[in-house]
Amino acid sequence: MTMTKGGTAKPPSPDANAPTDATTTAAPRRTHVPGDGTAHAQAVEQARKAMLHEVRARKRTRIGADVVCEALIRQGVDVFFGYPGGVILPLYDVLGDYPELRHVLVRHEQGGAHAADGYARVTGRVGVCMGTSGPGATNLVTGIGTALLDSVPMVAITGNVPDVLIGKDAFQEIDINGITLPMTKHNYLVRNADDLPRVFAEAFHIARTGRPGPVHIDITKDALQQETRAEHPTDEEVMAGLPGFRPNMDGHPRQLKLAAAEIARAKRPMILAGHGVLHAEAWDELKAFAERTQIPVAHTLLGVGVIDETHPLSYGYMGMHGWKHVNRAIQSADLLFAVGMRFDDRVTGNVRTYAPYARIVHVDIDPAEIGKNVAVEVPIVGDARRVLQAMLRLVDQVDPADRIEYFDQLAEWRRESEGSSWHGSGAWRDGLLSADFVVQRIGELSEHRGTYVADVGQNQMWLARYTGFREPNSHVSSGGLGTMGFSVPAAMGAALGRPDRVTWAITGDGGFQMTFQELMTLVQDRIPVKIAVFDNKKLGMIRQWQEIIYAGNYHSAHLLGPDYLKLADAFGIPAVKASTPDEVDDAIRFAQGVDGPALVWFEIAEEQNIFPMMPAGKGLSDLIEKWGGAEE
């Protein structure tokens, strides 16, 4: 953010020693400068001047900005994403003294927030992003909201105007604390450097403990500049300071026993696994539990990767664009063992007709999620890993032979559903390049060992369905908020978090055009993200809805894009184009062979839809599998 000279600063009135009590003096001389001539007004003027003319007197005593850097290092932060601006400059002034901290200069604060998000999702650690006051802070908001809806641990730091200017509509002042209040797990406004050690320790603790989420810390400029000797608190002191924050980690023994009894009775059980399993790092326990009880595992969009998709008990992705066989199995199940998922409307469709034969065991760390969207028979509040560990001790080993009829039925449904809407030849109608084929080849040619970051829309669904996921935390997707433009910046953070894996950002041409300014960040910071632009010259999911739900009334679904090869070239990124099925493999190999960021422009069929599709408001049994008589 640039800084321009604001309003004219009027010097304090000469009669500054006049009585200041408004009730005992004559009427104030000017009404538009409150308390003119008072000590308070002088402080305001001083602060305003300090903000407009950066004070360079740098004393290397410990100041608030140092505390921030110390706290980040103490919390194990190795990289964070930010953008400087007027009031956060004191922090940038000391950053050079902390070479342990790698600061990535993004091109837009939203990109910084998504990058922190992507970093957090692949590492399980707290992602950190930073911006200045006003527009810097509001630009972070979309990224913070994305992290909240997907329960991603994040700390967002913003600067704010000096304390005395707060509430005065100062330059680049906005009530960012009020803005982030309903969209963070917790937020802080720090006005005193002495509070910084405690606030940072609390923020990281809150962000990562229990159900993770974003925490926002707003720091006034003077708090960053004040000298302080305040010490960083111990973990015990942090806990003692948060008496209202005690997440319940272990499920209640009585409830666990009830759940075990439900499992013992069930003939057609399904496990529904979600993001909470990944947050709790409970994938080994989930696998052991599924194997012991011989219950197939279906997963949510954010639960992709909870189980190796080639595992015999992995049944697949559920919900609006999930596999038909999975939704069918849920609709006929007699028991749903839901763990770390929240029965989102994209998962259940119409709740009235959802899983009509099923009793539900619901395991979640957040008590508010249980009974929120569907009524459940056995609520269990606890950490997915701890609950699954406890459940393992309560359930008997089930012989797969006992479930032979059930498994045969599931296998038959699966064969039926996997055969449809799949283009193994790579060609959709008229030989046009099919998107599902492309994501599958990306998965195969990266040996299913990469990090795959989705944008939002059709590309997101193709990626979740056809890539073939083997490892936890290898799939990154904005599920809850559905933030277009997420993929490239999130992949940036994911690549830095897991440099051992190839990182693919899969994006539609619409989402890509929202945030592609971060291409320059990839180049400047040498972040090796491989970008697959799925160009159908459409907002594909919008077009699909308009075709099917709005009677073909296409409006604003068609969008122009640039020449992506020239675009990549302008950024200095090697790029290649693939428009036919036989060009796909070479293009993917080319990108993976580049030492650094690379881009592949996939010209895919313009009107390919993603099926099956559950129309909004309908139930899981009302899937649309094809449209207009045409084979999809």
Partner 1 sequence: MTAEGANNGRVPAGPTPAHTAPAHTAPPPRALPGGGEHRRHTLVAIVLDKPGVLNRVASLMRARNFNIDSLAVSHTDQPDVSRMTITLHGDDVAVEQATKQLYRLIDVLKVQDVTADPTVEHELALVKVRATDSNRAEILKIVELARGRVVDVSAESVIAEVTGVESEVDQFVALVRPFGIKELVRTGTVVMARGAQSIEEAIRR
173 is catalytic: no
Residue 470: both structure tokens together: 């083997």
Contacts of 306-313 with CB under 8 Å at 24 or more apart are 306/273, 306/274, 306/277, 306/278, 306/472, 307/273, 307/283, 308/469, 308/470, 308/471, 309/468, 309/469, 309/470, 310/468, 310/470, 311/287, 313/287
> Per CB under 8 A, does 392 bind partner 1?
no
CA 546, CA 557: separation in Å to the nearest integer? 8
The answer to whether the CB of 320 falls within 8 A of the CB of 346 is yes
Under rule CB under 8 A, residue 372 binds partner 1? yes
Nearer Cβ to partner 1, position 189 or 290? 189
Q: Which of 280, 378, 587, 604 binds partner 1 (CB under 8 A)?
A: 378
| Region 111-170 residues binding partner 1, contact defined as CB under 8 A | none
Q: Is 374 in the site for partner 1 (CB under 8 A)?
A: yes
Interface with partner 1, residue 365, by CB under 8 A:
no
Picking from 501, 510, 535, 505, the residue whose alpha carbon sits closest to that of residue 521 is 505
404 scored as a contact of partner 1 (CB under 8 A): no
Residue 336 makes contact with partner 1 by CB under 8 A: no
List 109, 369, 518, 603, catalytic entry: 109
| Binding flag, residue 334, partner 1 (CB under 8 A) | yes
Rounded to 5°, angle at Cα 324 from 442 and 617? 110
Count of residues binding partner 1 (CB under 8 A)? Answer: 45
Distance CA 82, CA 88 (A): 10
Q: Is 617 among the residues that bind partner 1 (CB under 8 A)? A: no
Instruction: Give me the least distance between CB of 262 and partner 1, in Å please.
Output: 9
Beta strands across the sheet bearing 314-317: 314-317, 297-299, 269-273, 335-339, 359-364, 378-381
Kindly indicate which of the ranges 116-124, 330-338, 507-515, 605-613 contains the residues binding partner 1, using the contact rule CB under 8 A. 330-338
Three-state SS sequence of 202-253: HHHHHHHCCCCCEEEEEEEHHHHHCECCCCCCCHHHHHHCCCCCCCCCCCCH
Q: 75, 110, 172, 608: which one is catalytic? A: 172
Active-site annotation holds for 172: yes
Q: How far is the CB of 486 from partner 1 (least distance, A)?
A: 23
> Burial code of 393-423, b = ≥16 C-beta within 10 A, e = fewer?
eebeebeeeebeebbebbeebbeebeeebbb
For residue 10, count other CB atoms closer than 10 A to its CB: 12
CA dist 26 and 469 (Å) reads 76
> Active-site residue 541, yes or no?
yes
Question: Which residue in the list 185, 221, 324, 538 is annotated as catalytic?
Answer: 221
In the annotation, is 110 catalytic? Answer: no
User: Is there binding between residue 53 and partner 1 (CB under 8 A)?
Assistant: no
Helix axis angle, 581-593 relative to 435-445, nearest 10°? 40
Q: Is 390 in the site for partner 1 (CB under 8 A)?
A: no
User: Least distance in Å: CB of 375 to partner 1?
Assistant: 5
Interface with partner 1 (CB under 8 A), residue from 52, 105, 138, 245: 245
**Cβ neighbour number for residue 190 with a 10 Å cutoff:** 23
Q: In the annotation, is 291 catalytic?
A: no
Q: Does 332 bind partner 1 (CB under 8 A)?
A: yes
Binding span for partner 1 by CB under 8 A among 216-224, 242-250, 465-473, 624-632: 242-250
16 versus 375: smaller Cβ distance to partner 1: 375
253-312 positions binding partner 1, by CB under 8 A: 254-255, 258, 265-268
Taking the least distance from each CB to partner 1, the nearer of 191 and 441 is 191
Please identify, using beta-carbon distances, which residue of 178 and 400 lies nearer to partner 1.
178
Cα-based distances in Å from 573 to 29, 441, 490, 535 = 62, 22, 18, 18
Smallest separation, CB 582 to partner 1 (Å): 43
From 366-374, 414-422, 434-442, 572-580, span contacting partner 1 (CB under 8 A): 366-374
The catalytic position among 80, 81, 171, 571 is 171
CB 181, min distance to partner 1, A: 6
What is the separation of C-alpha 534 from the centre of its chain, rounded to a whole number of angstroms? 21
As measured in angstroms, the least distance from the Cβ of 187 to partner 1 is 9
Binding mask 173-212 for partner 1 (x = CB under 8 A): ----xx--xx--xx--x----------------x------
Tokens of 14: 């000469």
CB of 124 to partner 1, least distance (A): 21
DSSP 190-206: E-SGGGHHHHHHHHHHH
Residues 573-592 that bind partner 1 (CB under 8 A): none
CB count in 10 Å sphere of residue 535 = 22
d(CA 358, CA 331): 8
Interface with partner 1, residue 62, by CB under 8 A? no
Helix (H) or strand (E) holding 522, with range, is helix 519-524
Burial of 428: CB neighbours in 10 Å, binned 0-12, 13-18, 19+: buried
Look up residue 173 and give its DSSP letter: -
Contact by Cβ (8 Å): 482, 458: no
Q: How far is the CB of 247 from partner 1 (least distance, A)?
A: 10
β-pair type (186-190, 214-220): parallel
Does residue 354 interact with partner 1 by CB under 8 A?
yes
Minimum distance of partner 1 from residue 351's CB (angstroms): 6
Residue 370 contacts partner 1 per CB under 8 A = yes
All residues at 6 or more sequence positions from 24 whose CB lies less than 8 Å from its CB, including other chains: none
Please choose, out of 23-31, 33-41, 155-163, 356-364, the segment that lies near partner 1 by the rule CB under 8 A. Answer: 356-364
Q: Which is nearer to partner 1, 7 or 243 (CB)?
A: 243
Q: Which residues bind partner 1 (CB under 8 A)?
A: 177-178, 181-182, 185-186, 189, 206, 242-245, 254-255, 258, 265-268, 331-332, 334, 351-359, 366-368, 370-379, 405
* Residue numbers annotated as active site: 109, 171-172, 221, 541
